Structure formats: C-alpha cells, structure tokens
C-alpha cells in the first residue's frame, strides 16, 4: 500500500512528509545516526496490510520479544541507546510507526477505529511473535494501550511512558509552541528544552528534531481518550512513567485515573521529568525483568 502524492490527495489522507525533498533530508539524517551506532543490529522491512514497515532489531532471536514504539514526530532512532541494554534480556524490535517521519509507509492511519491496532497485529504476525512485552512513549504508548486492549492475549507486560489517551492533553501547549516559534531558532530550542522537562537535549538529536519539525506534517487531531471500560481490559502487568513537568499532557490526571481503574498498575510520577522521558531505562528494565 505504497501511496503516491496524487493518491494521497484523492483519498483525503495526510502523509508524514511535506515534500519528497524534506522526506529525503530526514531519512538521510536517520541513516547517518544509524551509521554512527556501532552496536550489532538488524534492519528489517516487512509488508503489512497497511504498507511497508521498517524495524530495527537487536538481541538474540531466542530471547523473549520486546516491542518499542516511539512517539509522534520521531522514529525508532530514539531508542538506540536503550536497545543495547534491553537486548541483554530481550529480542528487541523498535518499530517505525506508519505516518511518522521514519522509514515505514508515510500515510497516517486514523486514530479512530482499529487500523492502528490491526497494523501492529500484522507486525507481530510478520515477525512470528505470539506474545511480547511492549514499551511505548506518548503516541506510541497510546498505541501500545490500544493494541493491548484489543489483543490482550498477545501482550506479556505493558510499559506506558507519558501516554496519550488516559489523561487529557494540555490545551495550552499549542499556544506555548506558537509563542516560542515567534523567536525563531532560539525559541524552538527553548520549546524542545521545555518539552524535555527543562533539561538539555544532545545537540545532534536537537538538530534532528528541528529538521523533522521543518518537513513533517504533525497530526492536528486530538488523540482519543480511552473509556473506563477499555482501560479495565488491561489486565496484564502494567507500569506508568510520567513526568510532572510534562507541558503536553496532564500527568497527574493520567496517573490518578490509571491508578483508580487498575489497582495492579505500577505508577511512577516523576517530579523533575517532562514529556520526553528517556532516562528511566533501569526502572523499566526492573519492571520488565
């Protein structure tokens, strides 16, 4: 289901990239980051009912499978430092989600309905995975939860990092983003600093995020909230990690709601973290192991 730009217009759907030139720039940077990564890994392309899907894999094939799902506006390169540690105990698959600035099909799947969950089911089947643990962040955490609700028999453990879909999104974020962008590149740097919980971002990743912001079509729709009836279907071991300084999502409301519905949930509300939680790997591995 590789769709050209004429077909995109005809179907009234949005593609990940604003232009072919921008797409090429983002993917070229992606390649350069992978070339710098000297840890043994594989690059896998599979076919699904929703088009091509690209996967970074590491770890011995006989180890239990672990699926990593990135957030919107990013791709699987965000996981490369953590993959080395996860792969000591798992066969790790970092999957480029469709419609995001990665190497999978660029058509953005609708958030309403089951397309996203069914796409991930196709991924499981293509990789011959019967059951796996899932770690997702932001939109990836939303997808992890959505998949686990529909296909709970396929999920061993679920880790949600700053998940969308449980607590409400902060309406003020859009205004803050516009405000910082008025100040040009310095303002954009400050915005990413805020998203990261007032912590600096490695310059190479900051440059990549700014390149993506230039050429990527960010989703404009609000991510749907799960109902109580849906969330109580998450009976597998589950852990939440959310930052109190998240400027995009109401972390405290997320934690409170999940704790009230799922008594077995491992709730971690972290005081000095923002939306981009990337340094909780040890705690996540403790939960998974």
The confidence score (pLDDT) of residue 220 equals: 82
The full set of domains in the chain, from first to last, is: 5-288 (3.40.50.1820)
104 contact partners, CB below 8 Å, separation of at least 6: 51, 52, 53, 54, 95, 96, 97, 98
What pLDDT, on a 0 to 100 scale, did the predictor assign at position 173? 58
Q: For 106-131, write each residue's pLDDT tens digit.
A: 999 999 999 999 999 999 999 999 99
Q: Quote the pLDDT of residue 101.
A: 97
Q: What is the pLDDT of residue 117?
A: 97
Per-residue model confidence as pLDDT tens digits over 5-18 = 333 344 467 899 99
Nearest to 123 by CA among 58, 195, 45, 175: 45
Model pLDDT, residue 249: 81
Q: What is the pLDDT of residue 4?
A: 39
User: How high is the pLDDT of residue 270?
Assistant: 85
Residue reference for tokens 């430092």: 81
What is the pTM for the complete model shown? 0.90
**Token pair 């939960």: residue:** 287
Give me the average pLDDT of each 10-residue run along the chain (289 residues): 39 84 97 93 96 97 97 93 93 98 96 96 98 96 98 98 87 56 64 62 86 91 94 97 81 94 94 72 88
Q: Which residues, including other chains, have CB under 8 Å from residue 283's CB and lie 6 or more apart?
A: 241, 268
Tokens 């972290």 locate to 270
């Amino acid at each position: 289901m590789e769709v050209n730009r004429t077909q995109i217009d005809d179907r009234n759907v949005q593609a990940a990239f604003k232009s072919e030139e921008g797409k090429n720039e983002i993917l070229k940077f992606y390649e350069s980051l992978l070339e710098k990564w000297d840890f043994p890994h594989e690059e896998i392309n599979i076919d699904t009912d929703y088009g091509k899907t690209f996967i970074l894999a590491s770890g011995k094939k006989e180890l239990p499978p672990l699926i990593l799902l990135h957030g919107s506006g990013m791709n699987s390169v965000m996981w490369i430092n953590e993959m080395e540690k996860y792969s000591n105990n798992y066969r790790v698959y970092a999957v480029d989600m469709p419609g995001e600035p990665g190497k999978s099909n660029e058509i953005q799947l609708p958030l309403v309905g089951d397309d996203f969950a069914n796409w991930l089911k196709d991924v499981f089947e293509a990789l011959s995975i019967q059951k796996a643990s899932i770690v997702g962040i932001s939109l990836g955490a939303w997808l992890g939860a959505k998949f686990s609700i529909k296909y709970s028999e396929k999920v061993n453990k679920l880790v949600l990092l700053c998940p969308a879909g449980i607590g409400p999104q902060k309406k003020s974020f859009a205004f803050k983003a516009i405000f910082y962008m008025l100040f040009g590149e310095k303002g954009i740097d400050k915005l990413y600093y805020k998203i990261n919980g007032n912590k600096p971002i490695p310059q190479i990743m900051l440059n990549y995020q700014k390149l993506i912001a230039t050429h990527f079509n960010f989703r404009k729709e609000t991510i749907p909230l799960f109902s109580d009836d849906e969330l109580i279907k998450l009976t597998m071991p589950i852990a939440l990690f959310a930052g109190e300084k998240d400027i995009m999502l109401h972390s405290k409301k997320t934690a409170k709601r999940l704790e009230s519905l799922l008594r077995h949930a491992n709730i971690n509300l972290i005081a000095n973290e923002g939306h981009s939680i990337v340094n909780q790997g040890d705690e996540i591995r403790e939960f998974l192991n």
